[in-house]
Amino acid sequence: MSSTERKDLRNVAIVAHVDHGKTTLVDAMLRQTKAVGGHGDLQDRVMDSGDLEREKGITILAKNTTVFYSGPAAEERAGAETVTMNIIDTPGHADFGGEVERGLSMVDGVVLLVDASEGPLPQTRFVLRKALNASLPVILVVNKTDRPDARIEGVVSDAMDLLLGLASDVAEEDPDLDLDAVLDVPVVYASGKAGRASKEQPDDGGLPNNEDLEPLFETILDHVPAPTFDEDEVLQAHVTNLDASPFLGRLALMRIFNGTLKKNQQVAWARKDGSISTVKITELLATKGLERVSTDSAGAGEIVAVAGISDIMIGETLTDLNNPKPLQDIVIDDPAISMTVGINTSPMAGRVKGAKVTARQVKDRLEAELVGNVSLRVLPTERPDMWEVQGRGELALAILVEQMRREGFELTVGKPRVVTQQIDGVLHEPMENMTIDAPEEYMGAITQLMAGRKGTMSTMANNGTGWVRMEFMVPARGLIGFRTKFLTETRGAGIASSYAAGYEPWKGQISYRVSGSLIADRAGVATPFAMMNLQDKGTFFVETTSEVYAGQVVGENSRNEDMEVNITKEKKLTNMRAASADSFEGLTPPDKLTLEESLEFAGEDECVEVTPEAIRIRKVILNSAERMKAARQKKSATAV
């Protein structure tokens, strides 16, 4: 067989930690190649198309776009007037690692983006290791060089140390890995916001000396290999993502590794279960900028979308009809966190007009999520109206629930728990490598907080700026409910992020909360009079005049115990006229928890009621007497 290159084509993924500027840089590349109109505001983040992505400022779904580069380096380095660059914008959060793994299966090289001040962080390590495992060449881009606190030289040194350490680890697993080639990493200095890049290091806090991104495009052409294929090989196109069109139905996004795919062509569809059937390509779409346009054919190395196959799944292959040769399935890491999702069983269920409240609707929606989310698992439970949903992390599961809430679902969501494994007869739990950046004065509080969650410090560094960086190895369950407490301890100044670090034997009991819950003892409307008298007991989650029910958690108790309160009590009126009217100006405003904060706060015997209009924390058992009985039975069983 003869191997041939597509010199006019490059497939590259941009990977980085959360908020290091991937999407902003892709926006600048799109504008400078005229893929989207004008140069306009480079902060539009056109690649973050979802509402949640724009609100949270993170990439949740991997997306591909195409730019057509026709600068001076195109003819010189690729021998073509225009070079097609397929760019995959991947999430930076480890919870969405399935998206990263799918994106890397489509490309021939990666651009590793690192913040010029923060340097390599946990998700940087996570995505870089995935790239090295896939034997992909790496281009290091130091972004945000114009930050006032930039430390460019130190960040480059840290990135190279990280690369060397990871390459050594990967080399132990793969003896054929060429360490010299891996460590020969070009460095580009950039400001995605300004749309500038250079190969020469600018001063700390300064912009790159070049006016555009030409050095970045040149480096991609030089160091990302052109796709190669065998001219004599049969058609092999691998499905790596799914999308939907209101006109065409399900779209299968795929990279063609060998052969040619044509519109109206009859091909073999190789499924995951090993079966092979014949299908017709009713529509073939290529990506141009942010749009998909119809095309008659596509060759090896190209990334296209195919319509006409309603049940096709990620990891499956379109291949030759007469000589089918399926490709290997995409390998995805096992989930580490699970939680139960079921119908809303609270006394307020079904009050939102048009809400989706039935078990069939919830089940269909969870099954639909499995189609495009390969890192998610949905398992049955003892109850027919509740399912166990497993994912990479707390954030990924919270995003799914939030999406369902916005689609009109009413749900009961259980407290997140870890997914354990039995290894050699010993119970093991998932571990996380946690990196924390915080001011020096909070170091003691952070160390104490992590120790209570079975975290052990592995390294600590002080760069002399008043901030300290600490790394901990901590059980994944120790991070459930951690973020809120961490932000409280550091007065909102700390930065914490983590990535999966394998499994270790069970670390023992962890105390998640030192405070109890304030529980409504009856249904009614929360009154200002009752809340004024109770506010010294703790912090409330509900506003005055809001409706509550018995068993609903209405606040956080300042003591380490649950307390039932009458939040609906009204002031008794008499015929005597008071000297002065009651004043409720001293009533502390309630602490309104988001969905993520509610999931973190919920105790072992609590769950979260999620509706399109409200998020409430409640006891799993609403009746007080039954709750006490269940607690006694659990205590007796534990004692035995």
Q: What's CA 274's distance to the chain center, in Å?
A: 31
Q: Quick one: 46 and 154 in the same domain?
A: yes
Is pTM beyond 0.85 here?
no
CB distance 429 to 417 below 8 Å: no
Of the candidates 229, 247, 271, which is a domain's last residue? 229
Percentage of the chain with pLDDT > 90? Answer: 22
CB atoms within 10 A of CB 67: 24
Other Cβ atoms within 10 Å of 252 Cβ, number:
24
Q: What is the mean pLDDT of the chain?
A: 83
Q: Is 278 annotated as a binding residue?
A: no
- pLDDT surpassing 70 at residue 18: no
**Encoding tokens for residue 296?**
């008659």
Same domain, 86 and 65: yes
- Is 415 assigned to a binding site? no
Q: Is 636 among the domain residues?
A: no
Give buried/exposed letters for 103-118 (b at 16+ CB in 10 A, else e): bbbbbbbbbbbbbbbb
User: Which tens digit of pLDDT belongs to each residue from 400-428?
Assistant: 898 899 999 999 999 888 888 888 889 99
Shared-domain flag, residues 115 and 239: no
Residues 280 and 203 in one domain: no
Q: Can you give the residue range of the structural domain that contains 497? A: 421-505
> What are the angstrom distances between the C-alpha of 467 and each of 115, 300, 493, 527?
16, 50, 10, 45
Does residue 513 lie within any of the structural domains? no
Instruction: Specify the residue for token string 């290529």.
Output: 286
The pLDDT of residue 397: 86
The answer on whether 84 is annotated among ligand-binding residues is no
Q: Are 97 and 126 in contact (CB under 8 A)?
A: yes
219 appears as a binding residue in the annotation: no
Kindly list the distances between the CA atom of residue 235 and the CA atoms of 116, 240, 429, 476, in Å, as whole numbers in the listed order: 43, 16, 43, 43
Looking at the fold, whether 157 and 262 belong to one and the same domain comes out as no
For residue 635, give the amino acid letter.
K
Domain boundary among 229, 255, 277: 229
Query: 47 with 169, same domain?
Result: yes
Q: How far from chain centre, in Å, is Cα 507?
A: 26
- The residues, any chain, with a CB within 8 Å of residue 452's CB and separated by 6 or more, are 510, 511
How far is the CA of 551 from the CAs of 345, 455, 526, 567, 618, in angstroms? Answer: 12, 34, 14, 12, 6
Domain boundary residue, one of 482, 505, 528: 505
41 marked as binding residue: no
CATH of the domain at 490: 3.30.70.240
Check residues 220 and 17 and name the one with the higher pLDDT. 220
Grade residue 74 by pLDDT with cuts at 50, 70 and 90.
confident
Ligand-binding annotation for 144, yes or no, is yes
The domain tally of the chain equals: 3
Out of 48-62, 82-96, 424-438, 441-455, least confident range: 48-62
Q: Which two tokens stand for residue 181?
A: 């080639």
* Type of residue numbered 558: S
Confidence of residue 35 (pLDDT cuts 50, 70, 90): low
Q: Which amino acid is at 253?
A: L
Span 296-315, average pLDDT: 86
Band (pLDDT 50/70/90 cuts) for residue 436 is confident
Structure tokens that stand for 471 in this block: 């790394």
Say if residue 314 is in the same domain as residue 458: no
- One domain for residues 275 and 170: no
Task: Compute CA distances 358 → 189, 338, 361, 547, whole Å.
Answer: 53, 22, 5, 23
The answer on whether 22 is annotated among ligand-binding residues is: yes
Q: Is 21 annotated as a binding residue?
A: yes
Would you say 434 and 412 are in contact if contact means Cβ atoms under 8 Å apart? Answer: no
Q: How confident is the model at residue 1 (pLDDT cuts 50, 70, 90)?
A: very low
Any idea which residue has 């690729």 for tokens?
78
Q: Quick check: is 341 in a domain?
A: no
pLDDT value of position 409 = 94
The pLDDT tens digits for 579-619 are 445 556 678 888 888 888 888 888 888 999 999 999 999 99
Asked if 80 and 162 sit in the same domain, the reply is yes
Same domain, 177 and 295: no
d(CA 479, CA 571): 43
pLDDT at residue number 50: 53
Q: Return the residue matching tokens 């600048």.
A: 28
Q: Is 248 exposed, middle or buried (0-12, 13-18, 19+ CB in 10 A)?
A: middle
What residues contact 455, with CB distance under 8 A and at least 6 apart? 434, 472, 473, 474, 475, 478
Whether residue 24 is annotated as binding a ligand: the answer is: yes
Opening angle at CA 33, ends 28 and 34, nearest 5: 95
Burial of 255 (0-12, 13-18, 19+ CB in 10 A): buried
Question: Quick check: is 324 in a domain?
Answer: no
Which CATH number goes with the domain that contains 266? 2.40.30.10
The residue written with tokens 């079975």 in the block is 454
Asked whether residue 454 is assigned to any structural domain, the reply reads: yes
* Pairing, β 9-16 against β 109-115: parallel
Q: Is residue 495 part of a domain?
A: yes
Q: How many CB atoms lie within 10 A of CB 214?
A: 17
Helix (H), strand (E) at residue 399: helix 394-406
Residue 563, domain member (yes or no): no
CA gap 568, 345 in Å, rounded? 22
Identify the three-state secondary structure at position 140.
strand
241 known ligand binder: no
pLDDT score at 340: 93
| pLDDT the model gives residue 485 | 79
Examine the domain organization and report whether 77 and 122 are in the same domain: yes
* CATH number of the domain within which 154 lies: 3.40.50.300
Tell me, yes or no, whether 529 lies in a domain.
no
Instruction: Please name the amino acid found at residue 451.
Output: A
Q: In the prediction, which pLDDT does 37 show? A: 47
Between helices 359-372 and 394-406, what is the axis angle to 10°? 130
Given a cut of 80, whether residue 77 has pLDDT beyond it is no
Take residue 495 and report the two structure tokens written for it.
Answer: 């930065």
Whether the CB-CB separation of 340 and 386 falls below 8 Å is answered with yes
Of 201, 206, 174, the residue nearest 189 (C-alpha): 201
In a shared domain, residues 192 and 255:
no
CB atoms within 10 A of CB 85: 21
Q: Render 540-597 in DSSP notation, one character per residue.
A: ESS-TT-EE-TTEEEEEESSSS-EEE-TT--PPP-SSPPSS----TTPPPP----HHH
